[in-house]
Structure 1
Amino acid sequence: MALPSFGYTPPATENVKLKPSIYEKIIKVGATDTPILNKIGTSNVTSPLLHSWITDTFEKPKKNANLELSKFIGETKNTTQKTSNATQIFISEAMVSDALLKAKQYGGNEMEYQIGKKTIEHKRDIEYALFGLGRDTDVKKSVFKGYVQAGANTSGEMAGIFHFVAKDKENFENKRRGNVLAFDETGDWSGTATELTEDKLNQILQTIWDSGVTPKDVFLGAELKPAINKLATRILKDETKLVGRVISFETDFGTINFHMHRLLSSEYGLGDVLIAGDFEFMKHGLYIPTKIEEVPTDITAQAKRIYTQSTLEVRNADAFAIGVGLSSKTSVSRCKNNKTEDK
C-alpha cells in the first residue's frame, strides 16, 4: 500500500522528509503568462479534499435618528455564509536520458532547461483552472461549473472565478447571472456581442462599488484592447494605448489598472470577456505548495516532477464583476440604425 503525503507512523507527527516549497520562487518565473496567479496572494489550506471559508455582508445604509432616551432594540441577523472549493492536484513531469544529460549542447543542461519550461507550463495550467476552463466542451458551461471533490477514482477539480461571481445563479435573468453581466444582444451570452463603451465599463465597475468594495484592476484580452485604447485616449486627452501588460487611468470609481490576459481570447472562448475587481479578495489556497522532486525510475534516465495541490478562494464574490458579450466593434444592428438616422 502506498504511503500518502499526509501519512506517517507514530511516534512521528508529520512527514518531515518532504522538501520545502519553491512556490515563491517559481511564481516569479514567466509572470506575464499568469498575471492573475502572480497578482493574488496565497492562503493556507488544511484539508486535502475540500477547503471552506466564511463570508459576511454589511447591511445597506439607512436612516438612523433616535431619541435621547431610546429603547434598546438590539436586532441582530446572522448573515454569514460558508463557501467551499475542492483542491486540485497539478503535476508536470520531465524525463531526460542519461546520455542526453552527459552531452554538451546549446542551452546548457537539458534537465535544467526542461524544468524551466515545465515550471511555466505548470503555472499556466493553474491559471487555466482559475478560469474554470477545460471542464466542458462548451466554454460557457465549463467556466460556471462547480467543484468536484476528489474520490477513490475521481480527480478533484476546483471551481473557477466565474462560478463564484455568478453567486449560485444557474441562468441569466435580466441580463445578469449574479455579478456576471451580459451585454450581448440576447442578454444571456449567446447572442451577438455589443461594443464596449464607457457606460458599459461603468456598469461593471458600479456593480462592485455598490457592494462596498472599490474596484482596482481589470483584465481583458487583445480583442477588447482597441476599445480600452479608445477610452484611455479620450479620457487622458492624448494617444494612449494598452501595450503589453498594463495602463492606468481615472474612472468615476478611482484609478483602475488595465491588464492584458492571453486566456481572454477567442482561442479559449473568452475573447468577449472583461473581469474587474479588487483581487485582494482572491487567494490561491495552497494545501501542498509547489515542490520539485526526483522520481525513481528503472530506466537509464533522470525524471523530475513538479507538484502542487491547491484551490481557488474567492473570499468575497461581490468584490468582482464580469462583463460578457463585449466587442471593440460597433454592432451591425447599431450601424444600420445609425444609417437610418443619417438618412
Structure 2
Amino acid sequence: MKGNEAIAEAALRAGCECFFGYPITPQTELLQYMAKKLLKSGGVFIQAESEVGAINMAYGAASCGKRVMTSSSGPGISLKQEGISYLAGAELPCVIVNIMRGGPGLGNINAAQSDYLQATKGGGHGDYKVIVLAPSSVQEAVDLTIKAFDLADKYRNPVMILGDGMLGQMMEVVEFDENYERPEVQKPWAVTGERNRPKRVTNSLYIVPEELEKHNFKLREKYKKIEENEVMVEEYMTDDAEAVFVSFGMCARIVKSAVNKLRQSGEKVGLIRPITLYPFPTKCIEKYANSNNIKFFIDVEMNLGQMLEDVKLSVAGKKDVHFYGRTGGMIPTIAEIVGYYFSLKK
C-alpha cells in the first residue's frame, strides 16, 4: 500500500469514527482514502473549509468521546496549532498526521523533516506536549497509527504521526493485525447530550490564574508519566560502536544503510533511532554518552538540525556531537553520509 493510504486503513481498523481534513500535498491521498471508506463504515467524513475548520471539528468530535483523526502537511499543521493547543488544554484525545514537506513558508512538496521543532516543542501557545511518533516504514506507520489512537485515549492527549513525503508516497508491503481489539476506555468526561446526569463541559479556559496554574501542574504530571512509560527507540549495531549516528523517520533508513556500508569497511558504528520524538529517548543516548567506547555522535536529518539540540542535551557535553543535514526537500545519500563520517576521522 501507499503510505498515506496505509495510515488511513490503519486508522479505520483502529476504530476511527470521524475524520476532518483539507487537501494539501503530499498527504492528500490519506484524505481521499478516508472519503471513500469512512462513510461506508458508518463514520463521519468532512472535507472542511480550511485547516482551522478541520482541527476545530476534531475538537468537537473528540469532546463527544469519538475516535477522531485529522491530517495535513507543514503549512496546514501551522494553521492547526491553536486548535492543537486547545485539544491539549482540554485533555481531548485526537490523532494528527503530518506528512512533512519542504519549508519554511509554502516551500515545496518534496520530502523533508522541517517540522520537528513544531511537533515536539509545541507549535501552539502554552505549556503543553503532544506525543509524537516517527515511523520509518509503511509497516511501522500502520502499527504506530493504531498505537496512536490507544495512546490518545490512554492519556487524553493529542498524538501526532510525523512522517514525510517519502513515507506518504512510497509503496511497501504491509500486514494488518487481524486480532487487534480496541481497548475498552471509559470516557466519563465526554459530552453526550444526556439529561439525567450532571452537565459535562470540555474546556481549556481558566480565567482565575490559580486555577490555570493548578491545571498546568496536573498536565505536567501527566507528561511525566508519558516520559516514564512511553519512550520507544531502536538501537542498531551499537553494542561495540565507537561512533553513533542519531536519526529519525525515513532519513534513519538511509543512515542505517550507511551504517551497514561502514561496517563492511571495518568501521565500528551504530545507529540510535528515536521512534518517539516526544517523549525523546534521552536516557538511551545518555547511556552511550557515558560509555568509554563512544568517541562521538553524528546527528543526520533532512533539515538544518532541528533535533540537534535534543541530542546535545542528552549527551550533556560528554562527547562531541556533529551534524549532517540536507534541507529544502533534498535527501542525503548513503555516499554523503559515509563521506562525512570519514571526514570526521581525519
TM-score strictly above 0.5? no
Greater strand share, structure number: 1
What TM-score, normalized by structure 2, do the two folds share? 0.28
Question: In terms of Rg, which structure is larger?
Answer: 1
Task: Give the structure, 1 or 2, with the largest relative contact order (CA under 8 Å, sep 6 or more).
Answer: 1
